[in-house]
């Protein structure tokens, strides 16, 4: 599922800005961009992301702003290089300097550094909690999207159920129609050739043919799959349902295809097309479900 969140937290030393974007993916694919002082904590950050977000293509961007000048040092070499570049740009573009460049220089990347190589533990705890809050916001975003998907999945499932409920009435008439056509053709053949036929053998063949055309088993299995699909959707004890629902939808598709192959009747084939169309929409939605 897609998701987005942006949080900001402040300590006496830093301002942490965290941005998370997620895209659809059945597996977990994490891309993290961290400032230098947090790179030693990347494994811990990835573990939090995996525990909180479960799956998806996840992009995380973290910005760290040092606001504690008392515990900071200035990289003079880098600051001078930035200054020279800015003066060259000013001359090239013929821009008149307005005020001091000091504030601008201090805001440029890596000019102002914390005196320690690692973030103090109390600041790190604030950052980690902010990261978890961002993950929760992403999950809230996902839940909102999931509710919309659930609504349409149930709508499409109702289409399948309504078509399913109409098939039995056609199925009974279908067998009678097939048998009457066979008998009519047989009668015409007998009148044309003046020959009789073995009624017992005909009865056996009719029974065999009717058994081959019988769709009751497919209807029973399809009904079971629909019920199971709804049970899984309504199961509050399980969180990750996407794969299971996808497998059930595949089984539903097999039974619907068999119904279409066996039907030999326009009215049933029309209902089968409606069920296939609805099922394809369900499968599209399930590709976005965890």
Express each pLDDT in 242-284 by its tens digit. 889 999 999 999 999 999 888 778 888 999 999 999 999 999 9
Placement of tokens 């349409």 in the chain: 152
- Whether 138 has a pLDDT exceeding 60, the answer reads yes
Widest distance between CA atoms in the chain: 115
Domains of the chain, residue spans: 76-109, 144-286
| Model confidence pLDDT, tens digit, residues 190-201 | 777 777 766 676
pLDDT of the residue at 114? 61
- Whether 82 has a pLDDT exceeding 80, the answer reads yes
CB burial of residue 198 (10 Å; 0-12, 13-18, 19+): exposed
pLDDT of the residue at 186? 72
From 150-159, 161-170, 232-241, 274-283, the region with the lowest mean pLDDT: 232-241
| Model confidence pLDDT, tens digit, residues 91-126 | 787 777 655 677 777 777 777 666 556 788 999 999
d(CA 73, CA 21): 33
d(CA 177, CA 209): 13
From 41-50, 158-167, 209-218, the region with the lowest mean pLDDT: 209-218
Which tokens go with 185?
């053709």
pLDDT of the residue at 72? 66
Q: How far is CA 103 from CA 65, 81, 111, in A?
A: 13, 15, 11
Sign of CA dihedral 161, 162, 165, 166: negative
Between 163 and 239, name the one with better pLDDT: 163
- Whether 67 has a pLDDT exceeding 90, the answer reads no
pLDDT of the residue at 5? 95
Placement of tokens 């200054």 in the chain: 83
- Whether 226 has a pLDDT exceeding 90, the answer reads yes
Average pLDDT over residues 283-287: 90
Which tokens go with 280?
């394809």
pLDDT of the residue at 197? 65
Average pLDDT over residues 209-215: 69
Between 43 and 55, name the one with better pLDDT: 43
Nearest Cα to Cα of residue 215 among 162, 178, 243, 247 = 178
pLDDT of the residue at 102? 75
Q: String of b and e for 139-168 (b: at least 16 CB within 10 Å)?
A: bebbeeebeebeeebeebbebbbebbeebe
User: Are 147 and 30 within 8 A, CB to CB?
Assistant: no
Question: Please, which pLDDT band fits residue 207 given cuts at 50, 70 and 90?
Answer: low
CB burial of residue 54 (10 Å; 0-12, 13-18, 19+): middle
d(CA 289, CA 143): 10
Percent share of the chain, pLDDT over 90 = 43
């Amino acid at each position: 599922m897609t998701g987005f969140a942006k949080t900001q937290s402040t300590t006496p030393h830093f301002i942490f800005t965290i941005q998370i974007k997620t895209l659809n993916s059945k597996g977990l694919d994490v891309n993290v961009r961290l400032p230098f002082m947090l790179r030693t904590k990347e494994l811990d950050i990835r573990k939090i992301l995996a525990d909180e977000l479960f799956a998806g293509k996840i992009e995380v961007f973290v910005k760290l702003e040092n606001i504690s000048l008392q515990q900071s040092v200035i990289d003079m070499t880098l600051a001078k290089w930035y200054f020279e570049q800015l003066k060259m740009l000013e001359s090239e573009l013929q821009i008149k300097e307005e005020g001091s460049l000091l504030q601008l220089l201090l805001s440029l990347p890596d000019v102002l550094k914390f005196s320690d190589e690692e973030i103090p533990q109390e600041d790190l705890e604030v950052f980690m909690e902010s990261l978890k809050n961002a993950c929760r916001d992403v999950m809230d975003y996902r839940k909102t999207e999931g509710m919309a998907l659930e609504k349409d999945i149930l709508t499409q499932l109702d289409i399948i159920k309504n078509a399913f409920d109409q098939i039995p009435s056609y199925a009974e008439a279908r067998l009678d129609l097939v048998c009457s056509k066979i008998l009519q053709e047989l009668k015409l053949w007998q009148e044309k050739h003046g020959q009789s036929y073995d009624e017992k053998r005909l009865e056996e063949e009719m029974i065999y043919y009717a058994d081959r055309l019988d769709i009751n088993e497919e209807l029973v299995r399809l009904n079971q799959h629909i019920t199971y699909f709804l049970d899984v959707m309504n199961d509050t004890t399980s969180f990750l349902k996407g794969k299971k629902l996808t497998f059930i939808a595949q089984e539903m598709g097999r039974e619907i295809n068999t119904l279409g192959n066996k039907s030999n009747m326009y009215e049933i084939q029309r209902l089968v097309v409606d069920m296939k169309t609805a099922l394809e929409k369900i499968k599209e939605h399930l590709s976005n479900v965890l």
